[in-house]
Amino acid sequence: MTAAPTGQTRPDTAATAPLPGSVDPGLSGARAAIFGVGPGIGLECVRVLGALGAHVACVDLDPDRADAAAAEFDRWPGEGFALAADVCDRDDAERVVADATDALGGLDVVINVVGHGGPAVPVADMPDDVWTDVLRINLDHHFYVTRAAMRSMIAQRRGSIVLISSVNALGSSPQRAVYGIAKAGLISLAKSLAIEAAEHGIRVNTVAPGATRTPRRQHLAEGDLAAVYRDSIPLGRLAEPQEVARAAMFLASDLASYITGETLVIDGGASVKYCLPAGN
């Protein structure tokens, strides 16, 4: 496949197609739950797994988004189930994991995309409610969902969990310190779970995307900001949502059967640049 010139977005009609040749990720018939299926990374996760033959519980706070994601299965061999829940509420999170497990007859894969950056505010001026809300949206609910999913996976002695973190977890996160803290917490959570769950045949990993051209972040690919990002990212563009989704699919699949407790960074090389301009 020919790469697009630096700075250009390559149309990717293969994003939701099965992998070519003899490569089999082992997801045909897999029972998966994806949390946060609105347009962007979550919906692309649904599409990638659906095209590979998985059965998917599409979970979202917005019932219409859940329904739209499940409706995508009209063109795929698997089944899609729409489930609405507020996973930031402990009881609702546990209820929807149980509903997904019942609908699918078990749970082989969990991909949790739910998160939000919160307002930009320095730590010295940060209200208590911003601190608690951003932690709740980006870290606490992952604990609720993962804890409930682990119980099902332990019983069947297999499973794969993928948590969507962020490059904000890997360095400083000025003006959004609590977001960076929450996303770093996800990486730590995955590492601890990877050890605890290994004896049960369960793998736990994270994906850390950089700037991604989701509908919410579309402004980063337009106007003056687009030039800033092209200059700062070695590959010269933002990630496409399906590129992050395919990384999550890889970690969830049999292709990554000996990988656990790891973080896969998807940022076009931005985080490995030398920290001073003279080094680049």
Region 115-130: what's the mean pLDDT?
94
**36: its two tokens:** 């946060």
Residue 278: inside a domain:
no
Count of domains for the chain: 1
Residue 116: inside a domain:
yes
Residue 104: inside a domain:
yes
**Which residues, at least 6 apart from 270, have a Cβ–Cβ distance to it below 8 Å?**
167, 210, 211, 232, 233, 234
- Confidence band of 218 (pLDDT split at 50, 70, 90): low
Residue 17: inside a domain:
no
What is the spatial distance between Cα 91 and Cα 240, in angstroms, rounded to a whole number?
34
Give me the pLDDT at residue 220, please: 67
Catalytic: 179? Answer: yes
Give me the pLDDT at residue 17, please: 52
Residue 145: inside a domain:
yes
- Confidence band of 69 (pLDDT split at 50, 70, 90): very high
193 torsion bin: left (phi>0), alpha (psi -120 to 50), beta (else): alpha
At 35, which CATH number? 3.40.50.720
Residue 167: inside a domain:
yes
**φ, ψ (nearest 5 deg) of residue 59:** -110, 130
What is the spatial distance between Cα 72 and Cα 164, in angstroms, rounded to a whole number?
22
Residue 243: inside a domain:
yes
Which is the catalytic residue, given 179, 229, 258, 274?
A: 179
**65: its two tokens:** 């988004």
**268: its two tokens:** 């076009």
CB atoms within 10 A of CB 258: 7
Give me the pLDDT at residue 30, please: 97
Range of the domain at 255: 31-211+239-270
- Confidence band of 7 (pLDDT split at 50, 70, 90): very low
Residue 227: inside a domain:
no
Residue 3 in this model has a pLDDT that exceeds 50? no
